[in-house]
Amino acid sequence: MNYNKKLKDLEKRLTKLSSFAVAFSGGVDSSFLLAVAKKINPQNLLAITVSSQFVPEREIEFAKRIALSIGVQHICLDVDILENGDVVRNTLDRCYYCKKQMFSLIKEIAENLGIKSLVHAVNLDDLKDFRPGLKAAKELGFYSPLVDANHTKADIRMLSRQLGIETWDKPSQSCLATRIPYHKKITAKNIIMVDKAEFFLQDLGFAQVRVRCHGKTARIEVEPGLVDRIFNSDIRQKVSKKFRKIGFEYTSIDIDGYKTGKMNHETSDNKNPQP
């Protein structure tokens, strides 16, 4: 595969934008997009991060550090997403309403600063999953250059490594709302419980982890190759004790391990909106 050809294609597309704002999370995709954007040196480039209860504070601080290391102007906006009734009801369209609110704020800030274009870092693999938020991005005029340049997640990781971007091997992240089954109301309490539980597991060395909240039961997903490790007696006891302190009465382990989009099984008949 000619990765350099894909990179040149992306650069060419971004060069056509005289000024633009990047919806920036500090993850693998948006860090790559921001670094490439900086490389082509547009007239005006801005990274905008939206902080809410759905994003761990450590991820916001990480995004700030990455934007600083790339050398791009960075704005962080705070949003109380739990005030949005359409979001907390947690229907299949939750992501649409959430992205609509967050991306509307990004658009407003960018327009106030005279920035003409808006971009986000969705890639080809994202189109295979159920992501209603892509519809909101399209409605608000966000451009997806990684898709148009045919970049997959694997492409982005490989090129990030070649370019020396430290996020090339960063575990995939998603907002904490994805840990709550659809149609179960999202509360500050269950989001905080999930965040604390995942942070504890990460501290134990499980980098790619999800803690799905099923009421009083936590369902842990770790990388398939580490499932045996979490069954280790010492680790299992530590997890059980800590999770009870956090508020989970029961803890289960998904023996199949982590796989993106597991909470989207009930949406299998839905068509994913295109960006």
Q: Mind listing the pLDDT tens digit of every residue in the chain (275 residues)? A: 688 899 999 999 999 998 999 999 999 999 999 999 999 977 789 999 999 999 999 999 999 999 999 999 999 999 999 999 999 999 999 999 999 999 999 999 999 999 989 999 999 999 998 999 999 999 999 999 999 999 999 999 999 999 999 999 999 999 999 999 999 999 999 999 999 999 999 999 999 999 999 999 999 999 999 999 999 999 999 999 999 999 999 999 999 999 876 666 555 444 443 33
> Which residue(s) pair with 142 in the sheet?
118
pLDDT of residue 271: 43
What does the alpha-carbon distance between residue 272 and residue 71 come to, in Å, rounded to a whole number?
A: 35
In this prediction, residue 41 carries a pLDDT of: 76
* Residues pairing with 75 in the sheet: 48
The DSSP bridge partners found for residue 117 are: 20
pLDDT given for residue 274 in this prediction: 30
pLDDT at position 1, please?
A: 62
CB 22 within 8 A of CB 29: no
- The Cα 192–Cα 88 span in angstroms is 14
pLDDT in the model for residue 269: 46
DSSP 99: H
**Domains of the chain by range and CATH?**
3-169 (3.40.50.620), 176-264 (3.30.70.2210)
DSSP code for 249:
S
Question: Cβ contacts of residue 19 below 8 Å, gap of 6+?
Answer: 42, 43, 44, 45, 114, 115, 116, 117
pTM above 0.85, yes or no: yes
- Per-residue pLDDT at 260: 76
